[in-house]
Amino acid sequence: MLLALILGIVGVIIGATGGLFYQQRIRQSRIGKADRTAARILSDADGRQKEILLEAKEEAIKVRQQAEAELRQRRNELQRSERRLSQKEETLDRKLDSVEQRQNNVQNKEQALEKKRSEIAELEEERKGELERISSLTAGEAKEMLLAQVEREIRDEVNRRFREIEQEVKEEAEERARKIIAMTMQRLTSDVVSENTVSIVPIPSEDMKGRIIGREGRNIRSLEHATGVDVIIDDTPDAVTLSTFDPVRREIARIALTKLLTDGRIHPARIEEMTAKARKEVEGSIREAGEEAIIEARTPGLHPEIIRTLGRLKFRYSYGQNQLKHAIETANLAAMISHELGADVDVARRGGLLHDLGKAIDHDSEGTHAVLGAELARRHNVQPAVVHCIEAHHEEVEPTSAEAMIVIVADAISGSRPGARRESLELYLKRLEALEEVANALPGVEKSYAIQAGREIRIIVKPEEVDDLGAQRMAKEISKRIQENLDYPGQVKVTVIRERRSIEYAK
């Protein structure tokens, strides 16, 4: 048992010793392996370090070479800069020497010039003294005479050149104006409408005249009272004549009477009813005519009251020319001329359309149609440039804009072009003769001329018999006599001219 225990212990010891020996062998093996790995790593590290050192040396060599190259380049640039600076210094030195030499030359020349000036001044004084002695005039007097002579010569030359230029410009302007007016007249044509101062209403039979008159004339009085026209029933067969100076009222009466004849019931109440309907119908026609005129003349944005007043011109005529058509035609003419001349086309177009606006209300208000139309346009916020065209189109107000002058020209073209207005030659000549007779009847009148188709009369007076104040009084007197004694459309401008001319002939 003991032996077995001892053997067991010995076995354990031997096993433990063997295990210890085995573990030691394993540890030594690992240590040897680690030593070899460390040696290999150290060997690799030494090789890598050598490579790094070699690369660092090569990089250092490259950097050094680049630095040396840059240093050489900068040294060369510095040398070139030094050479250029040296050249500039040499050039500057030469220039300074040249400037100093020129300054010396200038000083010498100035001294010589000053010496010459002194000599010239002495000679001038001697010459002046000699001239004063010979001519018995002082230097100031001689200078004034010379300047006066030169001034006269220059003034004569300037006046001559001015007249030549003015004549050239006038001829060129007239030629261009003729071309523009001819072109615009060729581009625009319109129909001629015959003037009517009365309206003829046909009736179905002569018996109807009695019904129109009514018992004791009550129907005809009611019709005249409701419409404001004169109803003329004469021997004209199958017709009744309506007469009034207001074309709108005449149209209302014509429509009302036509409706009464169609209805057959004619009595005061029916007359008032039909007149009211006719008035509404005419107002609608007026509004439509105004709107159509605005569209045709291409002038949108006008106040409704302006449009309505413009539409009333549909029933207004002047020597056979319908005034609404005339207004549209004037607007188109003014637009064409403005376009050619470079003026404001919109202002000229609106001024041309509205220039006779006052003719629609001149029966109800005092004043010329130009002034009335301008006031109406101004009240309804029409732009001032257009208002000026309206009030200046008969030159009652001095035209101050190109557009105003264009409207005057367009108005004259529309009214005076061939076929625009109808008036017998005999009546036309009588009216012109009557104007001249009124002027020639006054003492001191030398000549008188009716111009612009009777719209203006110019009177030339004898200056030794009529002074300036007398000329003004004569203009007022003639205008008063024309108003009292003559019938004429629109207005007549009276111009009295007083001048004195001195004429001599160079032989």
The pLDDT assigned to 194 comes to: 39
Q: For residues 221 and 231, what is the distance between their CA atoms, to the nearest angstrom?
A: 9
Q: For residues 13 and 370, what is the distance between their CA atoms, to the nearest angstrom?
A: 151
Torsion angles phi and psi, residue 502, rounded to 5: -115, 120
Q: For residues 199 and 275, what is the distance between their CA atoms, to the nearest angstrom?
A: 16
191-195, 318-322, 486-490: the lowest-pLDDT one:
191-195
Among the three residues 383, 416, 449, which one is the final residue of a domain in this structure?
A: 416
> Which domain does 271 fall in, by range?
198-416
167 domain-assigned: no
The tally of domains found in the chain comes to: 2
486 domain-assigned: yes
Do 279 and 399 lie in a common domain? yes
Model confidence at 240, in pLDDT bands (50, 70, 90)?
Answer: confident
Asked if the model's pLDDT at residue 420 lies above 70, the reply is no
Asked if the model's pLDDT at residue 203 lies above 50, the reply is yes
Model confidence at 74, in pLDDT bands (50, 70, 90)?
Answer: confident
Q: For residues 171 and 468, what is the distance between their CA atoms, to the nearest angstrom?
A: 33
Do 331 and 279 lie in a common domain? yes
Rounded mean pLDDT, 245-257? 83
Query: What token pair was written down for 173?
Result: 């302007």
Q: For residues 387 and 248, what is the distance between their CA atoms, to the nearest angstrom?
A: 25
Q: What is the pLDDT of residues 2-23, one digit of tens each?
A: 566 666 676 667 766 666 666 6
Cα distances (Å, whole numbers) of residue 251 to 74, 198, 199, 270, 399: 108, 10, 8, 18, 36
Asked if the model's pLDDT at residue 355 lies above 60, the reply is yes
Selected residue with higher pLDDT from 268 and 179:
268
What is the identity of the amino acid at 124?
A: E
Q: What is the pLDDT of residues 422-466, one digit of tens each?
A: 444 456 667 778 888 888 888 888 888 887 667 788 888 888 888
Return the closest-CA partner of residue 450 out of 439, 435, 460, 437: 435
90 domain-assigned: no
Among the three residues 416, 435, 450, which one is the final residue of a domain in this structure?
A: 416
233 domain-assigned: yes
Rounded mean pLDDT, 251-257? 86
The pLDDT assigned to 202 comes to: 81
Angle between helices 323-341 and 139-187 (to 10 degrees): 130
Asked if the model's pLDDT at residue 207 lies above 80, the reply is no
Query: What token pair was written down for 84?
Result: 């250029």
Residues 329, 334, 337, 340, CA torsion sign: negative
Q: For residues 64 and 390, what is the distance between their CA atoms, to the nearest angstrom?
A: 97
Q: What is the percentage of the chain residues whose pLDDT exceeds 70?
A: 82
What is the identity of the amino acid at 115?
A: K
Query: What token pair was written down for 158?
Result: 């300037």
Q: What is the CATH number of the domain that holds 275?
A: 1.10.3210
Rounded mean pLDDT, 252-263? 85
Residues 467, 470, 475, 477, CA torsion sign: negative
Q: For residues 279 and 273, what is the distance between their CA atoms, to the nearest angstrom?
A: 10
Most distant CA atoms of the chain, gap in Å: 193
Model confidence at 346, in pLDDT bands (50, 70, 90)?
Answer: very high
Do 395 and 443 lie in a common domain? no
Do 253 and 374 lie in a common domain? yes
Do 232 and 330 lie in a common domain? yes
Q: For residues 197 and 243, what is the distance between their CA atoms, to the nearest angstrom?
A: 7
Query: What token pair was written down for 11?
Result: 């076995």
34 domain-assigned: no
Helix (H), strand (E), coil (C) string for 413-458: HHHHCCCCCCCCHHHHHHHHHHHHHHHHCCCCEEEEEEECCCCEEE
Beta partners for residue 322, in sequence order: 317
Rounded mean pLDDT, 318-324? 74
Kindly report the pTM of this predicted structure: 0.47
What is the identity of the amino acid at 185?
A: M
Label the pairing between strands 493-497 and 239-243: unpaired
311 domain-assigned: yes
Helix/strand/coil percent split, the chain, to 5: 70, 5, 20
Return the closest-CA partner of residue 412 out of 374, 342, 355: 355
Q: What is the pLDDT of residues 149-159, one digit of tens each?
A: 777 778 777 77
Element (H, E) at 43: helix 2-135
Q: For residues 115 and 103, what is the distance between their CA atoms, to the nearest angstrom?
A: 18
Model confidence at 385, in pLDDT bands (50, 70, 90)?
Answer: very high
Do 276 and 386 lie in a common domain? yes
Do 387 and 490 lie in a common domain? no
User: Tokens 């209300």 map to which residue?
Assistant: 361
The pLDDT assigned to 422 comes to: 46
The pLDDT assigned to 484 comes to: 82
Q: For residues 98 and 322, what is the distance between their CA atoms, to the nearest angstrom?
A: 92
Do 410 and 437 lie in a common domain? no
User: Which DSSP symbol is given to 396?
Assistant: S
Cβ atoms of 355 and 327 within 8 Å: the answer is yes
Q: In terms of C-beta density within 10 A (0-12 exposed, 13-18 middle, 19 or more buried), how is residue 444 classed?
A: middle
Q: In terms of C-beta density within 10 A (0-12 exposed, 13-18 middle, 19 or more buried), how is residue 281 classed?
A: middle
CA 18, distance to chain mean position in Å, is: 127
Do 271 and 408 lie in a common domain? yes
Cβ atoms of 341 and 347 within 8 Å: the answer is no
Among the three residues 371, 399, 416, which one is the final residue of a domain in this structure?
A: 416
Do 398 and 301 lie in a common domain? yes
The pLDDT assigned to 416 comes to: 65
User: Which DSSP symbol is given to 493?
Assistant: E
Rounded mean pLDDT, 76-86? 87
Angle between helices 384-391 and 369-379 (to 10 degrees): 170
222 domain-assigned: yes
Do 250 and 273 lie in a common domain? yes
Residues 485, 487, 493, 498, CA torsion sign: negative
82 domain-assigned: no
Model confidence at 30, in pLDDT bands (50, 70, 90)?
Answer: confident
Cβ atoms of 493 and 454 within 8 Å: the answer is no
